[in-house]
C-alpha cells in the first residue's frame, strides 16, 4: 500500500513517516520544504532502514501534483502540509487562508481525478477555541480565536461537503491536542524557525542556552497553580493515531472527527517541573502577561478514538520531556560542529 504524505518532512509528518515505514507501507512525501529540511527524511530512512520518495513540490502547483499521482498508485493520503503559526496568521490572514485552503482544495481535486478518496486531515484542538466544558468532546461547539484556527474549521467544512457530495470519500479529521516529544533516537524532532511560539520548544531552547528565560504567559488563570492547562501528547503516539485512522478508512465512508489527546491536562508550571526532572536542568522563567486568545484549560475526551479506532495515547509527560530534551541536545551538538 502506498501512502502519500503531504508535509511529510515536517515535525508530525516525519514521525508519521517512520511509523508508516515500520508498518510496511510505501511512503511518498510531497513537501515544498518551506518549514522543514530534506535531511529529516534521510534521518527517517536511516531510523527505519527503508526508503521513501520525496517530491519537493508545492501543493499549490496542481500540475506537479498530478505527476506524483501519475508516477505512483496512491491508496490514501495523509495531509499535514500547511501553515501553522497562530501569531503569523493574525498578521498575514490572506496568506494563511490562501495557502491552507487552496492547498487542500488542489489536493482533493487531484485525488478525485486519480480516483483516490481516502484522506486523513490534520485538524487541531484549536477548532474548539476557548472550550466551555472539559474534557472536550468532538461534539463541542466549534469556534476559533485566530485565522489559523479558522482555516482548520473551514477545511473541515470543505471536507465534509466533499464527502457529502460523493460516498466514495472516506475522510478522517484528526483534532490534535498539543504534540510534544520526539523520536527516541533523538534524530528527528520539532525544529521551529525563529523564536518558538510553543511552550516545549521554547523550554528546550532555554535549556540549551539559545534563549535566556521562559516567559510564562499568565499565572492568574482559574487553575490550580494559576497557569494554563493543556493536553500534551507524545508525537509518536500522535503518529500512531494516523495509522489507526488510515486502517479505519478502509471500512468507512463520509467524515469523522477524532480528538487525539491523552485526556490529561497539565499546567505550564507542571510541564516546566517535568522537563527539569527529565533534563536535570533548571529553566529560568518569569511571569509575563497573559497571551491573547489563550484558553485557560483544555484537554481532550479521546474516548471516541479509543472506541472507533482502537487508539490510545500511551506515553506520559516525563517521557515526552525526556525525548524532547534528547532531540534538542542532539541538535545543539550538531549545530556546534
Give the catalytic positions in this structure.
148
Does position 197 bind ligand UDP by CB under 6 A?
A: yes
Q: Judged by CB under 6 A, which stretch of 8-16, 207-215, 251-259, 298-306 contacts ligand NAD?
A: 8-16
Query: Which one of ligand UDP, ligand NAD, none is in contact with 270 (Cβ closer than 5 to 8 A by kind)?
Result: none
Does position 75 bind ligand UDP by CB under 6 A?
A: no
Q: Using CB under 6 A, which residues numbered 74 to 133 contact ligand NAD? A: 80-82, 84, 99, 103, 122, 124
Query: Which one of ligand UDP, ligand NAD, none is in contact with 97 (Cβ closer than 5 to 8 A by kind)?
Result: none
The pattern of x and - marking residues 3 through 42 that bind ligand UDP according to CB under 6 A reads ----------------------------------------
The pattern of x and - marking residues 209 through 228 that bind ligand UDP according to CB under 6 A reads -----xxxx----------x
Residue 74 makes CB contacts below 8 A (sequence gap 6+) with 2, 3, 4, 28, 68, 111, 114, 116
Cell of 109: 481535486
Does position 199 bind ligand UDP by CB under 6 A?
A: yes
Q: How far apart are CA 327 and CA 184, in angstroms?
A: 8
**E strand or H helix at 21:** helix 11-22
Q: Indicate left, alpha or beta for 291 from its phi (over 0: left) and psi (-120 to 50: alpha).
A: beta
Query: Which one of ligand UDP, ligand NAD, none is in contact with 291 (Cβ closer than 5 to 8 A by kind)?
Result: ligand UDP
User: By C-beta, is 194 or 280 nearer to ligand NAD?
Assistant: 194
Q: How far apart are CA 100 and CA 104, in angstroms?
A: 6
C-alpha atoms less than 13 angstroms from C-alpha of 117 in its C-beta half-sphere: 17
DSSP symbol at 305: I
Cell of 276: 527539569
* Helices (H) then strands (E): counts for the chain: 11, 13
- The alpha carbon of residue 3 and the mean position of all alpha carbons in its chain are separated, in whole angstroms, by 17
Query: Which one of ligand UDP, ligand NAD, none is in contact with 170 (Cβ closer than 5 to 8 A by kind)?
Result: none
Q: Which residues bind ligand NAD (CB under 6 A)?
A: 7, 9-13, 30-36, 58-60, 80-82, 84, 99, 103, 122, 124, 176, 179
Amino acid at each position: 500500500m502506498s501512502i502519500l504524505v503531504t508535509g511529510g518532512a515536517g515535525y508530525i509528518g516525519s514521525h508519521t513517516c517512520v511509523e508508516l515505514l515500520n508498518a510496511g507501507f510505501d511512503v511518498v512525501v510531497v513537501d515544498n520544504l518551506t518549514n522543514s529540511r530534506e535531511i529529516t527524511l534521510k534521518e527517517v530512512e536511516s531510523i527505519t532502514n527503508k526508503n521513501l520518495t520525496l517530491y519537493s513540490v508545492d501543493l499549490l502547483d496542481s500540475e506537479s501534483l498530478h505527476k506524483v499521482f501519475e508516477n505512483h498508485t496512491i491508496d490514501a493520503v495523509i495531509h499535514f502540509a500547511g501553515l501553522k503559526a497562530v501569531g503569523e496568521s493574525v498578521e498575514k490572514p490572506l496568506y494563511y487562508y490562501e495557502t491552507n485552503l487552496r492547498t487542500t482544495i488542489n489536493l482533493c481535486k487531484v485525488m478525485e481525478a486519480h480516483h483516490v478518496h481516502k484522506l486523513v486531515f490534520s485538524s487541531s484542538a484549536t477548532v474548539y477555541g476557548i472550550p466551555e466544558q472539559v474534557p472536550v468532546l468532538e461534539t463541542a461547539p466549534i469556534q476559533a480565536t485566530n485565522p489559523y484556527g479558522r482555516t482548520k474549521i473551514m477545511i473541515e467544512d470543505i471536507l465534509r461537503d466533499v464527502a457529502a457530495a460523493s460516498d466514495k470519500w472516506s475522510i478522517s479529521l484528526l483534532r490534535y491536542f498539543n504534540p510534544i516529544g520526539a523520536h527516541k533516537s533523538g534524530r528527528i524532532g520539532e525544529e521551529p524557525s525563529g523564536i518558538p511560539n510553543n511552550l516545549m520548544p521554547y523550554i528546550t531552547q532555554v535549556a540549551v542556552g539559545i534563549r535566556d528565560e521562559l516567559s510564562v504567559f499568565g499565572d492568574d488563570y482559574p487553575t490550580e497553580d494559576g497557569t494554563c492547562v493543556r493536553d500534551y501528547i507524545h508525537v509518536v503516539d500522535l503518529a500512531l493515531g494516523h495509522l489507526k485512522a488510515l486502517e479505519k478508512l478502509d471500512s468507512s465512508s463520509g467524515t469523522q472527527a477524532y480528538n487525539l489527546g491523552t485526556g490529561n491536562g497539565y499546567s505550564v508550571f507542571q510541564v516546566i517541573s517535568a522537563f527539569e526532572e527529565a533534563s536535570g536542568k533548571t529553566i529560568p522563567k518569569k511571569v509575563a502577561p497573559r497571551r491573547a486568545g489563550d484558553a485557560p484549560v483544555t484537554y481532550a475526551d479521546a474516548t471516541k478514538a479509543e472506541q472507533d479506532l482502537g487508539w490510545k495515547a500511551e506515553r506520559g509527560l516525563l517521557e515526552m520531556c525526556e525525548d524532547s530534551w534528547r532531540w534538542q541536545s542532539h541538535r545543539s551538538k550538531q549545530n556546534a560542529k
